[in-house]
Amino acid sequence: MLGRAIALMMSDGTYLEGKVIRATREDITLKVKRIEPKDRFQGREVTIGTSAISVVHMSKSGPAAVPIALGVLGGFAGGSAAAFASESMASAAGAMAACLVGVVGGATGGALLGREAAKGTVTINITQASGSPTRPGAGQ
C-alpha cells in the first residue's frame, strides 16, 4: 500500500486524495494531492487516524493480457493502414518510414487503451466496531 495513490472519505465528510507515505493500524500518512474542504488540514502531508476513515478507493491494474492483445491488434491495424496509405508514395524509404510509424503508433495506442480498459477501482467501506465484541453463543 505504500506509495499507492488512494482517495478516502472521512467519517466527518472530508475527502482526501494522495499517495500513502506511511500506514499503521492506528493511522495513515498521505502526501496530499487534494482535500475537500480545502481548509480542513494544513500542509502537504497529513496523518489521519484509521478510526476516522469511512471509505477508501484504490485503483488496481488488471491482467497484462489485455494491453498486450490490444497492442498487437493496434500495431497490426496501424501498420496495415499505413501500408495502404503509402502504396502510392514514390519513395520506398518514405513508405517504409510511414509503415513503421503506423505500427509503432498503433501498438502504443492499443497498449495504452488496453491498460485503461483493464484498470479497476477497489472500494473499501469501513465500519467501526461499536461496543464490546460478542462471541457466538454468549448470553444463552
- Global confidence as pTM: 0.49
Phi-psi region of 13 (alpha: psi -120 to 50; beta: other; left: phi over 0): left
What are the domain boundaries of the chain? 5-60, 65-118
**pLDDT tens digits along 76-118:** 787 788 877 777 777 888 888 888 888 888 888 888 877 777 6
**Could you tell me what percentage of the chain is helix, strand and coil, using 3-state DSSP and rounding each to the nearest 5?**
40, 30, 30
Tens-digit pLDDT profile for residues 15-60:
888 898 988 888 888 898 888 888 888 888 888 888 888 888 777 6
Class of domain 5-60: mainly beta
Q: How confident is the model at residue 134 (pLDDT cuts 50, 70, 90)?
A: very low
